[in-house]
């Protein structure tokens, strides 16, 4: 799977006055919610079973708040800052200034792939990462496709792909980490719960197992 471009949020996005207004008040806490789904799709180029290929694709969404109440880290974030985000099997890293849009404390980034099903090839947007800096913390929202089709490759699965063949309910933990400027780290584990199912499908004289998964977060792991 291709590497993911990362996003960084900068203090400059809300201006000097905005950064100066970040004060320690009633202590906020980190927050995290997540859901993911994926399924296999069978594609056959002719009437033989040998021509059939299985592609796995899906989507996930994340809503998180990092560095809640960490005044020093929040004040250190600028447009030249780097941010490295890890959510399970998904990673994202860049500098704030790479954002496609910066406005009122919010930086938006797009996740893209190259589709060469037709000539010339074209670049498609399959996901977004949005970061917002405030006195509460650094909010990060991710929404993207995962896996691949016959013509496009998307982002890595967070956790669903690892349980695709289980054909049963499952629980697990995922590691979540956000590193700012290679120094400040906010890291924790999130519990997840999901269901994986397998269905045998006949096509062109062959039988194929098609897997599907749905999973969501259950809270901070103890």
Residue 119: count of CB within 10 angstroms of its CB? 6
Structure tokens belonging to residue 138: 């650094």
- Sheet containing 82-87: order of strands: 90-95, 82-87, 169-180, 184-203, 206-220, 31-44, 52-66, 137-147, 122-134, 106-115, 101-103
- What residue segments make up the domains of the chain, in order of their start? 11-164+175-188
Please report the pLDDT score of residue 24 as a whole number. Answer: 39
Q: What is the C-alpha separation between 112 and 125, in angstroms, rounded?
A: 4
More reliable by pLDDT, 5 or 220:
220
**Tens-digit pLDDT profile for residues 26-80:** 456 899 999 999 999 999 989 898 999 999 999 999 999 999 999 999 999 989 9
Q: What is the C-alpha separation between 180 and 103, in angstroms, rounded?
A: 20
Give DSSP secondary structure letters for the chain.
-PPPB-----GGGGHHHHHHT----S----EEEEEEEEEEEEEESSSSGGGEEEEEEEEEEEEEEESTT-HHHHHH--TT-EEEEEETTEEEEEEGGG-SEEETTEEEEEEEEEE-SSSS-EEEEEEEEEEEEETTEEEEEEEEEEEB-SS-B-BPPSSGGGGTT--SEEEEEEEEEEEETTTEEEEEEEEEEEEEEEEEEEETTEEEEEEEEEEEEEEE--
**Tens-digit pLDDT profile for residues 94-103:** 899 999 999 9
Find the range with the poorest average confidence among 34-38, 110-114, 116-120, 129-133.
116-120
**Tens-digit pLDDT profile for residues 172-218:** 999 999 999 999 999 999 999 999 999 999 999 899 999 999 999 99
Q: What is the C-alpha separation between 17 and 158, in angstroms, rounded?
A: 37
Collect all residues with Cβ–Cβ distance below 8 Å to 188 and sequence separation of at least 6.
Answer: 30, 32, 176, 177, 220, 221
pTM for this entry: 0.86
Are the C-beta atoms of residues 202 and 28 closer than 8 Å to each other?
no
């Amino acid at each position: 799977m291709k590497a993911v471009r990362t996003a960084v949020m900068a203090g400059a996005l809300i201006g000097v006055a905005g950064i100066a207004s970040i004060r320690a008040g009633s202590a906020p806490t980190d927050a995290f919610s997540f859901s993911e789904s994926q399924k296999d799709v069978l594609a056959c180029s002719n009437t033989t079973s040998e021509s059939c290929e299985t592609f796995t694709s899906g989507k996930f969404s994340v809503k998180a708040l990092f560095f809640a109440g960490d005044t020093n880290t929040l004040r250190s974030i600028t447009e030249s800052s780097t941010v490295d985000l890890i959510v399970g099997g998904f990673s994202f890293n860049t500098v704030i200034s790479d954002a496609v849009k910066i406005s009122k404390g919010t930086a938006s980034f797009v996740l893209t792939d190259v589709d060469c099903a037709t000539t010339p090839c074209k670049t498609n947007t399959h996901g977004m990462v949005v970061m917002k800096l405030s006195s509460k913390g650094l909010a990060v929202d991710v929404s993207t496709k995962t896996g691949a089709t016959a013509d496009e490759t998307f982002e890595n699965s967070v956790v669903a792909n690892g349980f695709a063949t289980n054909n049963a309910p499952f629980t697990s933990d995922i590691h979540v980490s956000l590193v700012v400027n290679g120094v400040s780290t906010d890291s924790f584990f999130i519990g997840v719960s999901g269901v994986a199912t397998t269905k045998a499908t006949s096509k062109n004289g062959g039988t194929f197992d098609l897997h599907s998964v749905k999973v969501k977060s259950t809270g901070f792991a103890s």
